[in-house]
Amino acid sequence: MTISENKTSLCSGNICPCQEKCPLSAALEIIGGKWKIPILCALYNDGPTRYNALRKKIKGVTNTMLASSLKELEADGLILRTQYNEMPLRVEYELTKNTNRLIPILGSLSAWGKDIKN
Amino acid sequence: MTISENKTSLCSGNICPCQEKCPLSAALEIIGGKWKIPILCALYNDGPTRYNALRKKIKGVTNTMLASSLKELEADGLILRTQYNEMPLRVEYELTKNTNRLIPILGSLSAWGKDIKN
DNA sequence: TATAGTACCAACCTAAATGCTTGTAAACTA
DNA sequence: TAGTTTACAAGCATTTAGGTTGGTACTATA
């Protein structure tokens, strides 16, 4: 019945639609939400950036959303938080190596999203 | 001030974080939501599939969600709906060419999502 | 002492996404 | 003619994401 073809697996062994989390859905959840991509893009474009500088660059974001999104991105290993105990306090955020491997994939997605509009 | 480097642009001209929609965010919105990826995976794995077959394969999906997700995917050009006026009515859904170009990108995302867990 | 800057947190509320239940049309089948 | 199957749709409830407001702790500078 089921013919085993040499297709690219989207779920690495598990067949989607899966009950347990597949890595694809996991990845999309990590970068999902309204502010994650703008944050990643800002850090990608400008390198290490301070909290308030991010607030100014990302139009419309609130303290609540920026702080919680940064926390989640840090917990997921996508960004690195470095605190300098100066006065006043300085905190810088930057992309990690994991995220740099993600960038070209997002680039492809962006190109696909551009094409599909035509 | 701004040094023009030869980085991959994620937003094709516009600099994220952007006020207007960038193609990357557009792409993520199209494939976002709880059921879009399971639907695409099911159609990718099994080819043209009927409505009720999708319901059985995708565990936990409701009629409301399946019907509305299919409609959105069709409106966005990701799936093709074909109706056969037999008795009883038969409707089949399948991926379009646009979606087939998306598959390898999702494969990369999946691989990245798998790696990041370690 | 007063003011201002930095990096956040917490409580509350709204709006959007998702879920549940029931209903319907069309056409065969017994 | 009643029942069955298929592919949905409408209405309402619930859950979750996101937004608003206001505040904290620390320290420097005037």
CB B93 within 8 A of CB B48: yes
Burial letters A85-107, b for 16+ CB under 10 A, else e: eeeeeeebbebbeebeebeebbb
Q: Give the pLDDT band of residue A19 (cuts 50, 70, 90).
A: very low
**Mean per-residue pLDDT for A86-110?**
93
Q: Give the pLDDT band of residue B7 (cuts 50, 70, 90).
A: low
Q: Kindly tell me if the per-residue pLDDT of B18 is higher than 70.
A: no
- With a CB cutoff of 8 Å and minimum separation 6, the contacts of A41 are B10, B11, B15, B16, B17, B22, B24
Q: State, as a whole number of angstroms, the distance between the CA of B69 and the C1' of C19.
A: 14
Residue B42 lies in a domain: yes
For the segment B35-63, what is each residue's pLDDT rounded down to a tens digit? 999 999 999 999 999 999 999 999 899 99
Give how far A63 is from chain B: nearest CA, Å.
Answer: 16
Which pLDDT score, from 0 to 100, does residue B44 have?
93
Q: Which domain holds residue A104?
A: 23-113
Q: State, as a whole number of angstroms, the distance between the CA of B41 and the C1' of D6.
A: 23
Residue B30 lies in a domain: yes
Q: Kindly tell me if the per-residue pLDDT of A13 is higher than 50.
A: no
Q: Report the percentage of chain B scoring pLDDT > 70.
A: 81
Residue A88 lies in a domain: yes
Residue A18 lies in a domain: no
Residue A13 lies in a domain: no
Residue B44 lies in a domain: yes
Q: How many CA atoms, within 13 angstroms, populate the side-chain half-sphere of residue B64?
A: 1
DSSP at B12:
T
- H/E stretch holding B88 reads none
Which pLDDT score, from 0 to 100, does residue B3 have?
37
Residue B3 lies in a domain: no
Which pLDDT score, from 0 to 100, does residue A12 have?
47
Q: Kindly tell me if the per-residue pLDDT of A21 is higher than 90.
A: no
Residue B14 lies in a domain: no
Q: Kindly tell me if the per-residue pLDDT of A1 is higher than 60.
A: no
State the average pLDDT for chain A. 85
How is residue B89 written in tokens?
């009515």
Q: Domain containing B90 — which CATH number?
A: 1.10.10.10
Number of domains chain A is built from: 1
For the segment B50-108, what is each residue's pLDDT rounded down to a tens digit? 999 999 999 899 999 999 999 999 999 999 999 998 878 899 999 999 999 999 999 99
Which pLDDT score, from 0 to 100, does residue B85 have?
83
How is residue B50 written in tokens?
């009927």
> Which of A37, A72, A95 to probe the B interface (max B CBs under 10 A)?
A37
Q: Which member of A19, A30, A105 has the closest CB to residue B105? A: A105
DSSP at B49:
E
